[in-house]
Chains A and B, each alone.
Chain A
Amino acid sequence: MTSAGRRRGLVRPYVITDGRAHPTRNTLDLVTLVIAARGETGGLSPEKRRVMELCRGGALSLAEVAGHLRIPVSVTKVLLSDLVDSGHIVTRSPIPSAELPEPAILQEVLDGLRARL
């Protein structure tokens, strides 16, 4: 068993969220990007401090935060919405699909790559 597996399960999710399962906002999803807005982490729980440390380096998606913290995504949502409420982080929705490149261009790139390799 890896050390991650052994560490998992020591602090249970209900302690992390203080028994809450409903995030204070329902605008968060797996690809929501999270960015640290404040530097200080005083008075935060260890998980929230970790989130702040992770986000200080730049934007991270919610799914990545959950992966780094090794806690379920739904629990991460509760944590992150708390942090948004306290002003420690800001969220940014991912680039909307309209701004994504055209499928045709992607197909061309794919074809070109295939031709080269």
Chain B
Amino acid sequence: MTRHIPEAVFWCLLAGALAVVVLLIRQRQISARLRRSVASLEDSVRSRDEEVRHLATVRLPALMEAGPHQPAGAPGLLHGHLAGSEYANSLKMVSDLFSRAAQTAQARADQSAKAALMASMRALQGLANEQQLAISEMQERHDNPDVLQDLLAIDHTNAQFGRRAQAIAVLCGSWPGRQRAASSLEDVVRGATSRIRDYRRVEVHAQVEVAVVSRAVEPVVLTVAELLDNAARHSQPNTTVQVNLQPAHNGTAIVIDDAGVGLIEQEIRRATELLTGAGQSVDITRLGDPPQFGFAAIGVLAARYGFSVSVDTRSPYGGVRAVVFLPSALLAPVPDEGADSVRTRAPSTARHAAPKRPSGPVAVPELVPESDGAQPSGAEPAPVYGSTAGGLPKRRRRQPLTEPAAAAERPAPEAPQGRSAQDAAAIIGAFARGTRSGRASSSDHEGNPHT
């Protein structure tokens, strides 16, 4: 019996040892698994830390830098394996919120900057226009060439000053300003030439007889002035800037060639973007330093008035060829200078001539009482209808009914037999024109209106 005891003990021990070994192995496995999981968790925490740091140091600044225009180029997650996870979604929310806030802040800053700039530029523009009027008056008044020379210099500087203010105001959403009469394209280009520093280097070759409609004159002048300024500024002082006017099928092109340094690929892309209005609202904080308003202002004008501008061609002289294409909608036939001068003189002559026309040739004796100023506006002595309380004669408005009646009966006694109505009308018309032009020229010679 005693012989069996150690054996039992041995088996017990063996079983115990086995159990311990099994437990040890399991423990080992468990701890290995735990270690792995801790490692992966550590890894994951590290990657999230890195991700947050990446967000704070790279992605958000990039978003801030890029502005509202190109969100596509913003950098993404640092660790691709996080994509789609809850964590990544939260990060995305953060960056979205951030970019929205940045955009709002930027838009508000832009708006207030534009409003402030526009208001101050409008004020400057007004002053420049006022000064230009004063200078024009001085030029009329002084006959001394020395004085004129100084006035021309002041005038020139003032014109450039006005253009700068105008370009900035336009960029900030203002209207180009002064309303002008329809002017021939050549005058428009020369008007633009008036506003740049090196106006003497600009050569205009005009081959077209076409005018720009009234509402488009000022924008086109400003556009061409900015392009000419660029052309003259970026070329040698001894070269010329050539302007050609080219008629086209449905419009007219103004071609500006300079012999300057030209634009590099990147500049052309940027300019085209600005000129075609691809950026929509222009961000005035992004115009470089010093800010370049020219192309941006042209882009705004081109979009608003419907003409197009391109600078992506090389000129035959090696510089830039800028082309402004004005569609037919902005063009009109050249206004007749002669007709214009008659029309502008009309107020002085019409005052006398117009009321007289119904009374025809009989008007001649009536000139006498009128010419000594007793009766202004040459009205016929009107019938008196009673008198006022003060004893003055009371005059009543002439009845409009009597005029057609008088007109109807007049031609009969006047026209001799065998003359047609058209002939009679032509003769009377010629007579009226003759008297009018006679009076007009006499008033010119005497330098004062015919009274």
Contacts and interface: CB of A to CB of B under 8 A. Distances in A.
B343 A73 contact: no
Interface string B85-97: 0000000000000
A18 B145 contact: no
A76 to B, nearest CB: 11
Contacts of B340: 3-4
A21 interface: yes
B194 A21 contact: no
Contacts of A38: none
A56 interface: no
Contact of A67 (B136, B183, B343, B444): B444
Interface stretch (A6-14, A83-91, A92-100, A103-111): A6-14
B193 A15 contact: yes
B187 A14 contact: no
B194 A15 contact: yes
A21 B159 contact: no
Nearest to B371: A117
Given A21-B146, A21-B149, A74-B142, A14 B191 contact: no
A19 interface: yes
A83 to B, nearest CB: 17
A7 B139 contact: no
A75 interface: yes
A19 B187 contact: no
B65 to A, nearest CB: 44
A75 B190 contact: no
Nearest to B338: A53
B139 A75 contact: yes
Given A19-B152, A74-B139, A7 B180 contact: yes
Contacts of A8: 136
Interface in B136-164: 136, 139-140, 142-146, 148-149, 151-153, 155-156, 159
Nearest to A29: B143
Given A3-B340, A10-B191, A23 B183 contact: no
Given A10-B187, A12-B194, A15-B199, A21 B155 contact: no
B337 interface: yes
A14 B155 contact: yes
A72 B149 contact: no
A15 B199 CA distance: 7
Interface residues of B, number: 44
A14 B199 contact: yes
A7 B155 contact: no
A12 to B, nearest CB: 4
Nearest to A14: B152
B179 interface: yes
Contacts of B337: 50
Given A6-B180, A14-B155, A46 B148 contact: no
B70 interface: no
A8 B181 CA distance: 9
Nearest to A4: B344
Contacts of B324: none
B154 to A, nearest CB: 10
B132 to A, nearest CB: 6
A48 to B, nearest CB: 13
Contacts of A68: 341
B200 A21 contact: no
Nearest to A15: B194
25 contacts: A1-B179, A4-B181, A4-B344, A6-B179, A6-B181, A9-B132, A9-B136, A10-B183, A10-B217, A11-B193, A11-B194, A12-B194, A14-B155, A14-B156, A14-B199, A15-B193, A15-B199, A21-B149, A22-B149, A46-B190, A72-B139, A74-B142, A74-B143, A75-B139, A75-B148
Given A12-B155, A13-B139, A68-B341, 8 more contacts: A3-B343, A6-B180, A9-B136, A10-B183, A10-B190, A11-B191, A22-B149, A72-B148
Interface of B: 132-133, 136, 139-140, 142-146, 148-149, 151-153, 155-156, 159, 178-181, 183-184, 186-188, 190-191, 193-194, 199-200, 206, 217, 221, 335, 337, 340-341, 343-344, 368, 444
